[in-house]
């Protein structure tokens, strides 16, 4: 069954959909959209270094995504605002990554595959990495759900309830790093933020409860993956961007639906 | 024993001193209000008590098993975050719906339990935050400018509720406030803070103290405080006849 590249693509995409749903909700709630984007860009340096030492890009991406996320969390608020630091690190890490790749002679490297992802090239070992990452992140978020949520609403409230919001932020950061690393092959660096944010944003219209919103975001992402892969096969379009287009389509439809319902009332 | 004992507390942020050598006690069932201009370290003081900042020097001791009910200034409530009041209340451990409703009743807003947090007005949100702080019967309520964004009647109403709660439950109250009029009439003790404790004592004593008047002005008993001052001000004791107040 796993011999078919389309089947592997579906399984990989669904793993990604499930990992992005809970994290995407937190990214949207905490207004961290740019954070996910920057982490993903920084991971490119990890990808380049992994290629240089000929190891799986997963590890390099994971390490650099976490370094970047951790560094900005630690340094922000001292001399620069968070988004300034993110801008500095994200773009310089991306540039460094691209420069390093240009030095790698001999191997023909299709960097586009890491920028836009190549879900059709997912191997069985990639599948196990993606699903391991997905389960770890889902477990992490489920375990820290209440404290994470409380620290999103108010840091002091979280301290007063006996939780350390800085530690919760670190959990989220690590989860985001894992997500970026497992997603790099599937949707690529540039589209990770889209998969984190669009389904979560679309789900807001469906839910009046945080858990339900995560569930709805998961549903939107799964539908985007399945419909996106099918249409990319039919119309011969690049699969990663097609998935994002489907997610965008759902987002728009749900918003029109919501507006109409409000007008009807 | 005191609920909270603070001794020689100094707090700095990246080299900038927010609080210097502050000592303060809060006793059971006492209402203590902290007043002071913006940037005077009021919030840092509360943060040190709940453990959100680590002191550079000095100590913050709380009574064994002290239960703190904390009412924050505001929530970072993104409009994309769907959560009902009841669910928000139960984000602490081991809270059932019944105690949740009871706390909302004590805060005067039981009808809000099924509402979405994002649909609440400023006053309703403050009541819900108060209700959340009341869960688990706190020994002390800590309020960080809880009436910010409320109009005059709204905040007066809110403080009446606090006063009523204190009488009913006997919990102590430590709050930061800008509503000087209301504060003066309901507090047992007022602390005037500006990086250090300028003066403290019964409301009428503090209002009369030259340190207080220097910070908040003398007209209308400081109710029209303009916060025009230097943060590293020196108390000009020589020009004043009443130099007894604490420095």
B147 domain-assigned: no
B94 domain-assigned: no
- For the domain that residue B237 is a member of, what is the CATH number? 3.40.50
Strand partners, B69: B141
B109 domain-assigned: no
pLDDT of residue A177: 87
What chain A holds in terms of domains, given with CATH numbers, is 5-264 (1.10.3470.10)
Residue B186 clears pLDDT 50, i.e. is over it:
yes
Name the domain count of chain B.
1
Distance from CA of B67 to the nearest CA of A (A): 9
Strand partners, A40: none
B172 domain-assigned: no
Asked whether the beta carbons of residue B82 and residue A208 sit closer than 8 angstroms, the reply is yes
For residue A213, the chain B residues in CB contact (below 8 A) are: 82
B229 domain-assigned: yes
Residue B244 clears pLDDT 90, i.e. is over it:
no
Whether A65 and A181 have beta carbons less than 8 Å apart is answered as yes
The CA distance from A127 to A122, in Å, is 7
| For residues B166-182, average pLDDT | 84
B193 domain-assigned: yes
pLDDT of residue A236: 93
How many interface pairs between A and B have CB atoms less than 8 angstroms apart? 69
Strands B57-62 and B4-13 turn out to be antiparallel
Residue-number span of the structural domain to which B12 is assigned: 1-67+184-247
Phi, psi of A77 (to 5 degrees): 85, -5
B189 domain-assigned: yes
ipTM strictly over 0.95? no
B107 domain-assigned: no
Give residue-wise pLDDT tens across range A184-210.
877 787 678 888 999 999 998 888 899
Asked whether the beta carbons of residue A209 and residue B83 sit closer than 8 angstroms, the reply is yes
pLDDT of residue B112: 92
Chain A residue closest in CA terms to B78: A29
Strand partners, B26: B4
- Tokens standing for residue A261: 């319902």
Residue B161 clears pLDDT 80, i.e. is over it:
yes
Whether B78 and A29 have beta carbons less than 8 Å apart is answered as yes
Ranking A93-102, A224-233, B229-238 by mean pLDDT, the lowest is B229-238
Length of chain B: 247
pLDDT of residue A165: 86
Confidence of residue A106 (pLDDT cuts 50, 70, 90): low
Asked whether the beta carbons of residue A156 and residue B46 sit closer than 8 angstroms, the reply is yes
| For residues B125-135, average pLDDT | 90
Q: Which residue has the higher pLDDT, B106 or A216?
A: A216
Whether A192 and A244 have beta carbons less than 8 Å apart is answered as no
pLDDT of residue B235: 55
Of B70, B75, B82, the CB nearest to A213: B82
Number of neighbours of residue B226 by Cβ within 10 angstroms: 11
Q: Does A209 touch chain B (CB under 8 A)?
A: yes
Phi, psi of A65 (to 5 degrees): -65, -40
């Amino acid at each position: 069954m796993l011999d078919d590249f389309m089947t592997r693509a579906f399984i990989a995409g669904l793993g990604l959909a499930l990992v992005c749903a809970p994290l995407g909700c937190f990214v949207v709630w905490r207004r961290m959209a740019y954070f996910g984007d920057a982490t993903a860009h920084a991971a490119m340096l990890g990808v380049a270094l992994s290629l240089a030492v000929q190891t799986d890009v997963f590890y390099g991406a994971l390490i650099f995504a976490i370094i970047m996320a951790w560094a900005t969390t630690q340094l922000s608020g001292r001399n620069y605002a968070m988004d300034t630091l993110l801008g500095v690190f994200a773009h310089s890490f991306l540039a460094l990554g691209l420069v390093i790749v240009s030095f790698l002679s001999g191997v023909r490297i299709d960097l586009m595959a890491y920028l836009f992802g190549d879900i059709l090239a997912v191997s069985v070992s990639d599948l196990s990495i993606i699903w391991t990452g997905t389960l770890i992140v889902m477990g992490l978020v489920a375990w820290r759900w209440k404290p994470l949520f409380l620290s999103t609403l108010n840091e002091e409230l979280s301290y007063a309830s006996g939780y350390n919001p800085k530690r919760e932020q670190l959990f989220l950061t690590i989860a985001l790093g894992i997500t970026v690393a497992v997603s790099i092959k599937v949707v690529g660096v540039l589209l990770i933020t889209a998969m984190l944010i669009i389904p979560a944003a679309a789900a807001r219209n469906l839910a009046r409860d945080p858990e339900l919103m995560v569930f709805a975001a998961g549903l939107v992402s799964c539908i985007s993956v399945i419909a996106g892969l099918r249409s990319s096969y039919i119309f011969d379009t690049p699969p990663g961007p097609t998935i994002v287009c489907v997610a965008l389509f759902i987002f728009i439809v749900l918003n029109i639906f919501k507006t109409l319902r409000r007008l009807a009332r | 024993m005191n609920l909270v004992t603070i001794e020689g507390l100094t707090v700095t942020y990246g080299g900038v001193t927010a609080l210097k050598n502050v000592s303060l006690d809060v006793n059971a069932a006492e209402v203590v209000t902290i007043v002071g201009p913006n940037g005077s370290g009021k919030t840092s003081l509360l943060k040190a008590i709940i453990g959100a900042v680590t002191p550079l020097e000095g100590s913050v001791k709380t009574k064994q098993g002290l239960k703190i009910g904390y009412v924050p200034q505001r929530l970072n409530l993104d409009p994309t975050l769907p959560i009902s009041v009841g669910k928000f209340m139960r984000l602490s451990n081991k809270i059932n719906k019944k105690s949740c409703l009871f706390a909302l009743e004590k805060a005067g807003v039981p009808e809000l339990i099924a509402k979405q947090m994002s649909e609440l007005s400023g006053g309703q949100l403050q009541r819900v935050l108060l209700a959340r702080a009341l869960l688990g019967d706190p020994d002390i309520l800590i309020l960080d400018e809880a009436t910010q964004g409320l109009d005059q009647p709204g905040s007066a109403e809110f403080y009446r509720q606090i006063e009523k709660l204190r009488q009913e439950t006997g919990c102590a109250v430590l709050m930061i406030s800008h509503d000087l009029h209301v504060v003066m009439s309901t507090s047992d003790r007022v602390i005037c803070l500006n990086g250090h404790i300028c003066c403290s004592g019964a409301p009428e004593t503090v209002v009369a103290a030259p340190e207080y008047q220097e910070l908040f002005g003398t007209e209308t008993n400081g109710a029209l405080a303009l916060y025009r001052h230097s943060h590293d001000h020196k108390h000009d004791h020589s020009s004043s006849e009443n130099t007894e107040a604490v420095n």
